[in-house]
Amino acid sequence: MPISDCEVRDPRIKRTRQLLQSALRTLMQNKSFEEISVQDITETATVNRATFYDHYTDKYALLEALVAGSFQMLLEERAIRYGTCPSAAGAIILATCDFLTQSHSNGADCQRQSAFEPLVEAAITTAIRRVLMEGLKDASPSSGISPEMIATTASWAIYGAVKEWSKTSGRPPAEEVVPLILQLVLPILQSAGSVESQHATPVAQS
């Protein structure tokens, strides 16, 4: 089974995956995802089909990796790490708002995305969960709920709230909605004993 992109250390593997993801991104500028074949991807990336399957099980796995990688890059650019304060959770929420806004900025992209929305959701929530787990991995929740379950629940809560905000007509700016979403998410994170104050104001990272 191919290892996930986040676990890759070999620069040759990274380069090949970057080529494949770049090829898919290029193809999606002119074709719907359903119209794109693995053959199209390998020809654009100038690799053979065997190489493709060494890295991804199918084009859906490649798409998920592309979305996850783009979101992870945004988190890394902003140096977002989840620690023990609400500002870190607020920064994650703001990054999610900005990423979805950017993803939906083009009408055609929006139409194409609706066809594979479950993959996009899975990719983003997995990336959020990964960041949260870094801060929760040493937690010993008095509630008896595992850090993994807390991180998973919080990641879906963040994504779900941001998605609802992104679809709202005349929605408020992201900076205004972050504290509202934070009020919903903090009780979940507090069950791990890792967040100091529910009423603290998040500090957005730019």
- Given 3.90.1150.10, 1.10.10.60, 3.40.50.620, 2.60.40.420, which CATH number is that of 5-57? 1.10.10.60
Residue (of 85, 193, 180, 187) closest to 139 by Cα position: 193
Give the model's pLDDT for residue 80.
82
pTM of the model: 0.76
Every domain of the chain and the residues it spans: 5-57, 79-190
State the Cα–Cα distance between residues 101 and 93, nearest whole angstrom.
12
Structure-model confidence comparison of residues 112 and 95, the more confident one: 95
- With a CB cutoff of 8 Å and minimum separation 6, the contacts of 152 are 125, 129
Give the model's pLDDT for residue 9.
60
Q: What is the mean pLDDT of residues 1-14?
A: 64
User: Which of the four pLDDT bands, split at 50, 70 and 90, describes residue 84?
Assistant: low
Give the model's pLDDT for residue 108.
45
Neighbours of 199 (CB within 10 A): 9
Domains 5-57 and 79-190 share a fold: no
Give the model's pLDDT for residue 147.
87
Dihedral (CA of 131, 135, 141, 146) sign: positive
Q: What is the mean pLDDT of residues 50-59?
A: 94
User: Which of the four pLDDT bands, split at 50, 70 and 90, describes residue 123?
Assistant: confident
Write down the number of H helices and E strands in the chain: 9, 0
**Could you tell me which CATH class the domain 79-190 is placed in?**
mainly alpha
Is the confidence at residue 193, as pLDDT, over 80?
A: no
